[in-house]
Amino acid sequence: MSVVVVTGGASGIGRALAAALVARGDTVAISDLDGDRVAEVAEALTEHGPGKAYAAVLDVADAEAVADHYQSVKADHGRLDLVFNNAGIAVGGLAEELTLDHWNRALDVNLRGVVHGVHAAYPIMLEQGYGHIANTASLAGLVPMPMGIPYTASKFAVVGLSLALRAEAAGRGVKVSVICPGFVDTPLLTTGNPGLPQTEMSKNIRTFAKQAQPRLYSAEALAKDVLHGIRRNKALIVAPASGRAAWRAARLSPGGAVRAARIAVARYRRQVE
């Protein structure tokens, strides 16, 4: 049985991860900004067992709150085995449509939220001499994704952070992985630019996602891929297969990846003009 933290656990990938972890018998601390929803999820997962889940309200942009939460989990259970710094938001729109508020919110949640989780979990795991940190990035952290560059920038940063930390942590007994999914069928595709000015992209993320990836991946399938990758201590966990293909293509031809992105931008402009 592992003691696990999952942020952004009220829905989507976080909920699917928590469900898979509880199903294998783990104790899972699920946190989210949506206190009512995360409490319902924790209760439902515990009811099905055999593991158990409990809920916490957490804003990952609040460094002190994140540190307190991770320390509380450690204090309650005596250890912290596995952490999923998973909470994230979608920010979409062309660069000229976006304000600094869009940029700041994307960086606060998607990047600083991971930084806060790492900063809180890593010292605990160093003291223990073991543990595994898994940070949720995106395929958009491996290939250029236009019409949402604050999101893309934050996810590229999470990939770099995770791979560099993996190198540092390897000699200290701590493992680090980064999760890079393609488009997953979650509420993130219907809640773009939360609390921020909307754009055509943010109002129709799901439609544009399906143009790029006609078959959206399920959060449950991704959770299985992620746990398999964690067991194998993979540095990068990229799914589904179409995402791995896009990643390989971008590595082989960075210029080709940019040209493909330009085609997507041109199509988007035609649709919204």
- The residues that are catalytic are 151
- The answer to whether 214 touches 242, Cβ cutoff 8 Å, is no
Task: Calculate the alpha carbon distances from 224 to 30, 90, 109, 119, 240 in Å.
Answer: 18, 23, 25, 27, 11
Report the half-sphere exposure of 162 (CA within 13 A, side-chain side). Answer: 33
Residue 164: helix, strand or coil by DSSP? helix
- The answer to whether 148 touches 201, Cβ cutoff 8 Å, is yes
Cis peptide leading into residue 240 (ω within 30°): yes
Two tokens, residue 124? 């605990």
Q: How far apart are CA 240 and CA 171, in angstroms?
A: 31
Two tokens, residue 217? 């991946």
- The answer to whether 176 touches 165, Cβ cutoff 8 Å, is yes
Report the half-sphere exposure of 264 (CA within 13 A, side-chain side). Answer: 21
Residues facing 206 on adjacent strands:
none
